[in-house]
């Protein structure tokens, strides 16, 4: 059985958080671009 290190108990998934933030920002930019295209073409709700 592997030894438990104190480092494993305090593991922080910083890379995962960074990828998630980049993904969310990309989604917001894509939706914003689509929204602006729709507004420029005169789309109404």
Mean pLDDT by groups of 10 residues along the chain of 45 residues: 59 90 98 93 76
Q: Which of 35, 22, 25 is nearest to 45 (CA)?
A: 35
Say if 8 falls within a structural domain. Answer: no
Say if 9 falls within a structural domain. Answer: no
Measured in residues, the chain has a length of 45
Measured in whole angstroms, how far is the alpha carbon of residue 12 from the centre of its chain? 17
The pLDDT, as a whole number, for residue 32 is: 96
The pLDDT, as a whole number, for residue 16 is: 92
Say if 19 falls within a structural domain. Answer: yes
Say if 35 falls within a structural domain. Answer: yes
Q: Structural domain tally of the chain?
A: 1
Residue-range definition of the domain harbouring residue 30: 14-40
Say if 23 falls within a structural domain. Answer: yes
pTM: 0.63
Say if 1 falls within a structural domain. Answer: no
């Amino acid at each position: 059985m592997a030894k438990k290190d104190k480092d494993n108990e305090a593991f922080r998934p910083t890379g995962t958080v960074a990828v998630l933030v980049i993904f969310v920002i990309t989604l917001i930019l894509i939706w914003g671009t689509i929204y602006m295209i729709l507004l420029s073409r005169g789309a109404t709700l």
